């Protein structure tokens, strides 16, 4: 019988309202008559949901979107820097409550956005998520860890991931377009993390 099981999937992509809304539409090979057999990659980092956010284009269904027969509430978002370890890290914690009358599973998503930056950066980037199964009225406390890479961009000249000093926003939501709460994080010291090639 329909409705016996509560679905809980989430979209791993954004669905555009029209083909022209897709961030890569202008670069499809058939849009360049001078080079009908060539696709020129011009989107840079603004692909997928990052491109929709950058262009302020509302998709039909955003990245992370999903439906449920019940409802969920997020509360008590906190971001605390860890005092242990050689590399900085942050613990993101929050509560998820099933506020409806059916059992269900939700996918809580953590996004990070940078303030002022020397380079173009997406308005919002997914940095973590957790799947939570809840009975009606049940609340569960969730924690996720963010390392310095969650705040970094790749510095091609330095060949490493760079974290700029400044203010960042850590956001909690059910999709990239459905943000429930946010906390600001101040990073005082810039750093460069070398990575192996």
Q: Domain-by-domain residue ranges, the chain?
A: 72-194
Q: Distance of alpha carbon 128 from its chain centroid, rounded? A: 7
pLDDT of residue 86: 67
pTM of structure: 0.89
Which H or E run includes 54?
helix 49-55
Strands (E), the chain: 72-81, 89-98, 104-114, 125-134, 139-147, 153-155, 160-163, 166-175, 178-187, 191-194
In a structure prediction context, what are the per-residue pLDDT tens digits for the chain, which is 197 residues long? 566 788 888 999 999 999 999 998 888 767 677 777 877 788 889 999 999 999 999 999 999 999 999 999 999 999 998 866 667 889 999 999 999 999 999 999 999 999 889 899 999 999 999 999 999 999 999 999 999 899 999 988 888 899 999 999 999 999 999 999 999 999 886 666 554 43
Secondary structure letter of residue 28 according to DSSP? S
Superfamily of domain 72-194: Immunoglobulins (2.60.40.10)
| Virtual torsion, Cα 172, 177, 178, 180, nearest 10 deg | 40
């Amino acid at each position: 019988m329909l409705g016996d099981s509560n679905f809980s999937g989430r979209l791993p992509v954004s669905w555009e309202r029209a083909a022209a809304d897709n961030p890569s539409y202008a670069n499809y090979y058939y849009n360049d008559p001078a080079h009908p057999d060539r696709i020129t990659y011009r989107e840079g980092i603004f692909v997928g949901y990052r491109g929709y956010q950058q262009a302020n284009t509302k998709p039909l269904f955003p990245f992370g979107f999903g439906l449920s027969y019940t409802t969920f509430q997020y509360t008590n978002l906190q971001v605390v820097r860890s005092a242990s370890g050689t590399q900085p890290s942050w613990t993101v914690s929050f509560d998820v409550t099933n506020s409806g009358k059916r059992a269900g599973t939700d996918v809580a998503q953590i996004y990070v956005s940078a303030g002022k930056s020397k380079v173009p950066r997406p308005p919002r980037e997914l940095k973590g998520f957790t799947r939570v199964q809840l009975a009606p009225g049940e609340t569960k406390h969730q924690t996720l860890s963010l390392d310095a890479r969650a705040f970094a961009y790749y510095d091609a000249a330095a060949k490493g991931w760079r974290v700029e000093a400044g203010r960042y926003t850590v956001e909690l939501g059910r999709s990239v377009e459905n943000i429930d709460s946010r906390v600001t994080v101040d990073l005082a010291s810039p750093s460069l993390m070398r990575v192996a090639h």
